[in-house]
Amino acid sequence: MDKQQFESWRYDVQPALSSKVDEFHFLGYERVTEDQVWACLMYRLRKQKEFIHLHAFVQAILSLKVQDYMTWVTKESYREKNDWFAKETIV
């Protein structure tokens, strides 16, 4: 699916994103941002072959579960190139 389709809807679906972030904050996940929720959704919808209507896209936002979001965050943290031991010197 073309990423621009979703990017053009970013402003239109902002209330749904904000609602989802508020929900996560209410559940104790205070550090969640709209940008992170957006990136998670883009990752989850990256393999969609057919056209997604706006109402279905909003449904995808509102149905995002904390477990799915946290799984995505964990995978992203493993993908980052953190060389934790590069700064340590061997004595």
User: What predicted TM-score, i.e. pTM, was given to this entire model?
Assistant: 0.79
Rounded to the nearest 10°, the torsion over CA 6, 41, 1, 12 is -20
**How far is Cα 26 from Cα 24, in angstroms, rounded to an integer?**
5
Contact 69, 40 (CB under 8 A): yes
- Show the domain range for 38: 3-79
Per-residue pLDDT tens, the chain, 91 aa: give them.
445 578 889 999 999 999 999 999 999 999 999 999 999 999 999 888 788 899 999 999 999 999 999 999 999 888 876 655 555 555 5
Domain presence at residue 90: no
- Structural domains of the chain, count: 1
Q: What are the CA-CA distances from residue 20 to residues 25, 53, 66, 75, 79 (Å)? A: 9, 19, 10, 20, 25
Domain presence at residue 91: no
Domain presence at residue 84: no
